[in-house]
């Protein structure tokens, strides 16, 4: 992966938006919990950042994924192409690089489309535990008659 060009690296992202969901860490166990609260820049319909180029200025804690950084990011979803390739696993058959269709991530039920309950500025920090969801840590269920 270290040999990929910047453009190739960016295309590896399937656009699911799962990494842009707010995460909580249990102070005692270190376990990471995903919420259905999106970063303020996350477009809940497209799964993409509304200001990708300026995201790190507007959202200082936005993680910039690099080959080097991958090893220290345990919260990436199991469906994440960066994680899969770092673990020497193949891309799933619904990945846009394989289908040629950027919408395949939505069709397969992998993206955040329709699942973002709120954005960070709309939710008090103390209320975030009320938004904990399990699906970002899971593979989507296969739908009958179609590979997912």
Average predicted confidence (pLDDT) for the chain: 91
pLDDT band at 74, cuts 50/70/90? confident
92-96 contact pairs (CB < 8 A, 24+) = 92/148, 93/147, 93/148, 94/147, 94/148, 95/14, 96/14, 96/15
Domain ranges of the chain: 6-136
What's the pLDDT score for residue 143? 53
2-10 contact pairs (CB < 8 A, 24+) = 2/67
pLDDT in tens, 5-54: 888 999 999 999 999 999 999 999 999 999 999 999 999 888 899 998 89
pLDDT in tens, 113-131: 999 999 999 999 999 999 9
In order, the DSSP letters of the chain are: -TT--HHHHHHH-----GGGEEEEE-TTT--EEEEEEEPTTB-TTT-SBTTTTTHHHHSTT-----HHHHTT-TTS-TT-HHHHHHTT-PPPTT-HHHHS-TTHHHHTT-S-TTT--EEGGGS-GGGGGGGEESGGGSPPPPPTTS--
Predicted structure pTM score = 0.88
Are the C-beta atoms of residues 36 and 117 closer than 8 Å to each other? yes
């Amino acid at each position: 992966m270290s040999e990929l060009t910047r453009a190739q690296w960016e295309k590896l992202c399937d656009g699911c938006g799962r990494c842009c969901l707010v995460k909580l860490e249990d102070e005692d166990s270190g376990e990471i919990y995903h919420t259905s609260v999106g970063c303020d820049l996350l477009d809940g319909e497209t799964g993409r950042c509304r200001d990708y180029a300026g995201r790190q200025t507007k959202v200082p804690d936005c993680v910039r994924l690099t080959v080097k950084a991958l090893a220290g990011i345990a919260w990436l979803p199991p469906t994440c192409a960066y994680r899969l390739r770092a673990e020497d696993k193949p891309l799933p058959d619904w990945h846009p690089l394989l289908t040629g269709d950027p919408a395949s991530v939505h069709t397969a039920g992998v993206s955040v489309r329709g699942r973002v309950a709120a954005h960070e500025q709309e939710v008090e920090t103390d209320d975030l535990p009320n938004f904990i969801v399990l699906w970002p840590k899971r593979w989507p269920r296969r739908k009958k008659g179609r590979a997912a």
